[in-house]
Amino acid sequence: MAVDATQPYDDQNVFAKILRGEIPNRTVYEDDFALAFHDINPQAPTHVLVIPKGAYVCWDDFSAKASEAEIAGFVRAVGKVARDLGLVAPGYRLLANTGTDSHQEVPHLHVHLFAGQPLGPMLVR
Ligand code: 5GP
């Protein structure tokens, strides 16, 4: 079911469980601010999710409430993951679904990083 982006944080969401080590993941990168891991149902040859370690429902929540250090740390982590995976020259796409119209499913902020093939139009027409 799609997430209401204005709801309070639910610490039983699947990415909270991944952060606590209760559910396994295929980690690509981790630091004090972020965890990056492969999506369980990849939509491109490379499909990595990058999440902040803090408890934020979505981009709106994070951009409004996260500290400067958390925001800088998260943004730098996303860039580092793309660089470390060798995606900058061939190119990649970032996507952050927020709320019901975007079909956000997991109520913990995550950025999708897609790459590995020409990615087509930005939105279904
Ligand atoms: P959203 O629609 O919220 O932007 O995307 C949620 C993403 O999380 C989906 O691409 C889905 O495949 C992925 N996902 C859901 N549950 C799990 C899980 O347990 N492990 C991993 N690695 N990815 C998950």
Three-state DSSP at 89 gives coil
Ligand 1 pocket: which of 106, 108, 111, 114 to mutate (most atoms within 8 A of CB): 106
108 is catalytic: no
The per-residue DSSP string of 49-84 comes to EEEESS--SSHHHHHHHS-HHHHHHHHHHHHHHHHH
Q: What is the pLDDT of residues 57-98, one digit of tens each?
A: 999 999 999 999 999 999 999 999 999 999 999 999 999 999
Q: What's the whole-model pTM score? A: 0.98
pLDDT digits (tens, 9 = 90+) for 4-33: 999 999 999 999 999 999 999 999 999 999
- Distance of CA 119 from the midpoint of ligand 1 (Å): 19
Q: What is the pLDDT of residue 92?
A: 98
- The per-residue pLDDT for 106 is 98
Give the model confidence (pLDDT) of 44-64 as tens digits: 999 999 999 999 999 999 999
1: confidence class by pLDDT, cuts 50, 70, 90? confident
Whether 40 and 47 have beta carbons less than 8 Å apart is answered as no
pLDDT the model gives residue 41: 98
CATH hierarchy code of domain 14-115: 3.30.428.10
Q: What is the pLDDT of residue 81?
A: 98
